[in-house]
Chains A and B, each alone.
Chain A
Amino acid sequence: MKKNWWKGLSVLILTYVILRGLLGVVPRQPILNESIRNVYFHVPLWFGMIIMLLTSAVYSIRYLRNGRFDDDGVAVEFANTAILFGFLGCLTGALWANFTWGEPWPNDPKLNSVAVGMLMYLAYLILRGSFDDEQRRARISAVYNIFAFAVFVPLIFIVPRLTDSLHPGNGGNPAFGKYDMDSQMRMVFYPAVIGFTLLGVWITELRVRLRRVKAALEE
């Protein structure tokens, strides 16, 4: 039980976030109106995704340094969960954009960058599928994973800032935190980031354990 306290914490935080997110008081903003509640779900999903991609890259580096198969398995499962979060982030974002920007997929550099980033990680999964030899698969996909993360970062954080974007914090727009969020919202937003990240780690942990059990059964 001692080791699992963070799972309880994750459930607790997410319950709090969902309750506060759906029932809590939010500031009235023009255009945004009630849809500002989505900031508790959409943004933390992306934060969680980026944290998990970083963890995945770190595990790939670890694999290359010490050659333990287990690290490669952890890296791929983190990437899988990150892709899932990415899809959910796209979905919540599309819903939000539909009401505030008028269409579910406006031609926005951040959206397109993210779509390309997802393609990059789907290519990672395809690359993994195209090897029969396990050692080779692990080593080469680890190399690609690190490379992909290094390209993903400028794609997400630099390219959208160079052009005009609808997203806050890009293309000269002020970031959301500047004046749209009051301290009430912060009390929900920051826990939401932690909660969704913990949920992602939980999903990943289950899949990694499944992978270990399968590997043990095969031996």
Chain B
Amino acid sequence: MTESVRQLGALMRKEFLLEWRQRYALNGMLLYIVGAVFVCYLSFNARRGQLTPIVWNTLFWIIQLFTAINAIAKSFVQERAGRQLYYYTLASPQQIILAKIGYNTALMGVLAVLGFCTYAFVLGSPIADIPLYLLTLALGAIGFSASLTLVSGIASKAENPATLMAVLSFPIILPLLLLLLKVSKNAMDGLDRSVSWSEVGTVLAIDAIVLTLSWLLFPFLWRS
């Protein structure tokens, strides 16, 4: 048990180091989300505080969705096949997928917070219950990374990973996205928290399903 935790730690550390050494990819992601926010800001004619809450919230989550797909799509593409084979001789596939999901969750968390700050900075923030909104960001980071990591693993085996990644992940991510939109809208309106708990529970349940499935299915995926 302790051994496998140690291995998991080492694999996570490897992911972070790899990202840190190829900083252009990380910087690219950061710039991507800031750029996307700015495009939206200018497209809405740069009118601060004039978006209705629904538009504000939906736009933000759509930016999040696209950033997530772009950020996670590269989690299997950036390493060459030979090197991946080498990892599989060192650790079990379950640990590899968990390490990747953990790393992607951290990455999505950073991107979400950065995106949120920029977005609230340029477009104004009409949020009443900020802690709950941050909680939905965290839940979203877990859910996005858990479901998209497996999908990116699937897509990376195919001929045209970029298109396939989008086609496969949009429908898969939708139930999660709808629930997140609902909870975050509640947080914006400052509704009593008891209203949101059942949805938070459902989001957690979906996260758990997706995580378990990734854990179960990945061993079949990497062999090819």
Question: Known contacts being A147-B172, A162-B182, is A136 close to B213, with CB within 8 Å?
Answer: no
Chain A 67-119 interface residues, beta-carbon cutoff 8 Å to B: 113, 116-117, 119
Question: Known contacts being A150-B213, A154-B175, A159-B175, is A123 close to B168, with CB within 8 Å?
Answer: yes
Is A127 engaged at the interface, CB distance under 8 Å to the other chain?
yes
Determine which residue in A117, A142, A143, A162 has the highest number of CB atoms from chain B within 10 A of its CB, and name it. Answer: A143
**25 pairs from A and B in contact (CB 8 Å cutoff):** A64-B217, A116-B171, A116-B174, A123-B167, A123-B168, A123-B171, A126-B164, A127-B168, A130-B160, A130-B164, A136-B157, A140-B221, A140-B224, A142-B220, A143-B217, A144-B168, A147-B150, A151-B171, A151-B172, A151-B175, A154-B205, A158-B202, A159-B178, A162-B179, A162-B182
A126: chain B residues at CB < 8 Å are 164, 167
B160: chain A residues at CB < 8 Å are 130
Is B159 engaged at the interface, CB distance under 8 Å to the other chain?
yes
What is the number of contacts between chain A and chain B, taking CB atoms within 8 Å?
Answer: 87
B217: chain A residues at CB < 8 Å are 64, 143, 146-147
Chain A 141-187 interface residues, beta-carbon cutoff 8 Å to B: 142-144, 146-148, 150-151, 154-155, 158-159, 162-163
Interface residues on B, range: 20 to 34
Given contacts A123-B167, A139-B224, A151-B147, 19 further A-B contacts (CB under 8 A): A64-B220, A119-B170, A126-B167, A127-B158, A131-B158, A136-B157, A136-B224, A140-B154, A140-B157, A142-B220, A143-B217, A146-B213, A146-B217, A148-B171, A148-B172, A150-B213, A151-B210, A155-B175, A159-B179
Determine which residue in B147, B157, B205, B213 has the highest number of CB atoms from chain A within 10 A of its CB, and name it. Answer: B157
* Residue of chain A at shortest CB distance from B172: A151
Is A120 engaged at the interface, CB distance under 8 Å to the other chain?
yes
Determine which residue in B147, B164, B174, B223 has the highest number of CB atoms from chain A within 10 A of its CB, and name it. Answer: B174
- Complex-state Cα separation, A132 to B167, whole angstroms: 19
Distance to closest chain A CB from B147 (angstroms): 8
- Complex-state Cα separation, A147 to B175, whole angstroms: 14
- Complex-state Cα separation, A117 to B174, whole angstroms: 10
Give the dominant DSSP class at B's interface. helix
Q: Digitize B141-162: 1 where CB-to-A-CB distance is under 8 Å, 0 elsewhere.
A: 0000001001100100111100
The residue that B202 contacts in the complex, of A132, A135, A162, with Cβ under 8 A, is A162
A136: chain B residues at CB < 8 Å are 157, 224
B158 touches A130 (CB 8 A): yes
A130: chain B residues at CB < 8 Å are 158-160, 164
Chain B 83-117 interface residues, beta-carbon cutoff 8 Å to A: none
* Residue of chain A at shortest CB distance from B157: A140
B171 touches A139 (CB 8 A): no
B175: chain A residues at CB < 8 Å are 113, 116, 151, 154-155, 158-159
Distance to closest chain A CB from B215 (angstroms): 12
* Residue of chain A at shortest CB distance from B166: A123
Distance to closest chain A CB from B48 (angstroms): 31
B154 touches A144 (CB 8 A): yes
* Residue of chain A at shortest CB distance from B221: A143
B199: chain A residues at CB < 8 Å are 162
Q: Digitize B113-154: 1 where CB-to-A-CB distance is under 8 Å, 0 elsewhere.
A: 000000000000000000000000000000000010011001
